[in-house]
Structure 1
């Protein structure tokens, strides 16, 4: 996933109250990390493939995954956000919920005053 697209998705997820951050997994390799309430983390689309998928980790160990979502290579930002918030991470092989959960109170965006400095003035 491109860095700017990943930042937009992370900001939108945080606006919905989802605890998400930008994942920097390599040189020019970005994804989205969703921190789950029980200490697990789901890392979405960090392997530079076109389709959406995720690995669910706890303390550095793989405890589950989200299989590739067919047709997700052409998803818009809104569709990516919808796919992430509708995922049910409770089983080792995650499934999608029938309905979208209601948004929670928004979380602050990461970076604060120095956000533009940290990103080299590439984004707002």
Structure 2
């Protein structure tokens, strides 16, 4: 996932109340990190593959994963946001719910003034 697409997905998730953050996984390699309520973190699409999948980590240790979502290599941003929002992380092998949970109050966008400088004050 490129940086601008990952940032748009993070912003859309935060608008739905999902505590998502931009994850810098390497040089020119970006993904989405979702903070889960019990201290775990889901790292989405940081491995550079075309499909959508995630690793669930706690204190740097793999404690679960989200298997490759079939057909996700052709998802647009809205479908990526929906897939991440619908994921149920309660089991070590996460699954997709049929519907997304109700949206929570929106979270503020990250980056503040520095983000505005980087993007040329377009927002």
Task: Give the TM-score, by structure 2 length.
Answer: 0.95
Q: 1:4·1:123 contact (CA, 8 Å) conserved in 2?
A: no
Q: Which residue of structure 1 lines up, in the alignment, with residue 43 of structure 2?
A: 43
For structure 1, list consecutive stretches of 5 or more residues without a partner in the other structure: none
1:45-84 paired onto structure 2 within 5 Å? 45-84=45-84
Q: 1:32·1:43 contact (CA, 8 Å) conserved in 2?
A: yes
**C-alpha RMSD of the superposition:** 1.5
Q: Which residue of structure 2 lines up, in the alignment, with residue 87 of structure 1?
A: 87
**Ranges of 4+ aligned residues in structure 1 off by more than 4 Å:** 120-124
- Offset, 1:116: 2.7
* Secondary structure, aligned partner of 1:69: coil
Task: Give the TM-score, by structure 1 length.
Answer: 0.94
Q: Which residue of structure 2 lines up, in the alignment, with residue 9 of structure 1?
A: 9
Q: Which residue of structure 2 lines up, in the alignment, with residue 106 of structure 1?
A: 106
For structure 2, list consecutive stretches of 5 or more residues without a partner in the other structure: none
- Offset, 1:121: 4.2
Question: Does residue 1:31 correspond to 2:31, yes or no?
Answer: yes
